[in-house]
Amino acid sequence: MTRSRLLLTFLLSLASSTVIADERYKVVRPVIIESGIAGQWMMQLGGPVRGQVVRRVEQGQPLRMVQPRRLQRQIAVEPQAQVQQAAYRPERPALNAIEPQFLPQTVAYETEHKPGTIIIDTNNRFLYLVMGDGQARRYGVGVGKPGFEWAGEHKITRKAEWPEWHPPKEMIQREAAKGHYLPARMDGGEANPLGARAMYLGSTLYRIHGTNAPWTIGYAVSSGCIRMRNEDVVDLYERVKVGTRVIVL
């Protein structure tokens, strides 16, 4: 083989190798992730990133990490929110929230009063129905707020189921001065402040009654009436009759 032919062969071989090398770096190979670690790795990625990784691996495309959309939203500057001023109002407890001691229960109770007598301990927020044999059925109650406390003795003169409510004129005027406008009359029902039952005391405006606000049991919140949970006042209502003696301490 002549020297010129050898040189030509060498040059062709070199050119072929260069072409192969160039083609090698022109092709982007897919990233292959071993099955043993792929799941754990991709589970750590956010939704948008994870979706792109899966699609690119399946399609044999090169990977390119991008910022998750949720991070993009956090980085974006949000306009200043408008704050509406509002009067403070304590958070209302759950509708059925009541301390255990105010649930109906039979307790030891020594008294000289006859069975069937109702005794209301306003300081401790308890109503006792005397049963005899040194026992009484005890209920939790709500009582008169400061300035509306009272003590005395009356008899139940009337009983009513789901009673209508006729707010006294004094209450209507008092609440109107606070910006609260009461109706002259309200039909009986779950929204009625007198609740499911009412037992009227003597010729007064006071009653033992249910409530539409059971979370107030155990507190001094009323205008002088004795309020009970609806289920409790129904229970007491069935146990007493017109003429029952009521002693408020």
| Separation CA 194–CA 207 (nearest Å) | 9
Q: Residue 244 contacts by C-beta under 8 Å, 6 or more apart in sequence?
A: 116, 117, 118, 155, 156, 199
Q: In the chain, at which residue ranges do the beta strands (DSSP E only) sit?
A: 105-108, 118-121, 126-132, 135-140, 143-144, 152-161, 197-201, 207-209, 220-222, 226-227, 245-248
Other CB atoms within 10 A of residue 30 CB: 13
246, 218 contact by CB (below 8 A): no
Question: What is the gyration radius of the CA atoms in the chain, in angstroms?
Answer: 41
For the question of residue 225 being annotated catalytic, the response is yes
Instruction: Give yes or no for a contact between 242 and 157, defined as CB atoms under 8 angstroms apart.
Output: yes
Task: Name 130's bridge partners.
Answer: 136
Q: Is 154 a catalytic residue?
A: no
Catalytic residue among 113, 166, 180, 225: 225
- DSSP conformation class of 196: S
Active site amino acids: 209, 225
